[in-house]
């Protein structure tokens, strides 16, 4: 099982209302992709210590399923309509969640 984490640093002109809309759109759109499991998103609480405004996390059965999800029309449209206009910096991290599993086989 692969955990996929995206951290968004929003553009300075993004309003609190737009931040809420980004979270709603993330849930609506990405949950339509069958390979996406356990979708979570949230906004930062600590304004001083946390440089990221929004996080989005999800699980994929494996890296191959993750790539299928990211190549889907829904994901591509989400990137163009939600991420690109509002996100200044996107950090993506992936982790293997199964203990003892060689990450070469994720």
Summarised one tens digit per residue, pLDDT across range 24-45 is 999 999 999 999 999 999 999 9
Q: CATH class for domain 2-97?
A: alpha beta
Annotate the chain with three-state secondary structure: CEEEEEEEEECCCCCHHHHHHHHHHHHHHHCCCCCCEEEEEEECCCCCCCCCCEEEEEEECCHHHHHHHHCCHHHHHHHHHHHHHHEEEEEEEEEECCCCCCHHHC
The pLDDT assigned to 105 comes to 67
Summarised one tens digit per residue, pLDDT across range 66-104 is 999 999 999 999 999 999 999 999 999 999 988 887 767
Residue 14, pLDDT > 70, answer yes
The pLDDT assigned to 47 comes to 84
């Amino acid at each position: 099982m692969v955990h996929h984490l995206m951290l968004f640093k929003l553009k300075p002109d993004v309003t609190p209302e737009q931040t809420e809309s980004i979270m709603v759109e993330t849930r609506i759109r990405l949950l339509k992709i069958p390979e996406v499991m356990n979708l979570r998103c949230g906004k930062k609480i600590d304004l001083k210590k946390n440089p990221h405004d929004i996080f989005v996390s999800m699980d994929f059965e494996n890296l191959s399923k993750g790539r299928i999800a990211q190549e889907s029309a829904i994901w591509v449209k989400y990137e163009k309509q939600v991420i690109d206009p509002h996100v200044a910096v996107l950090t993506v991290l992936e982790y293997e969640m199964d203990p003892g599993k060689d990450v070469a086989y994720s």
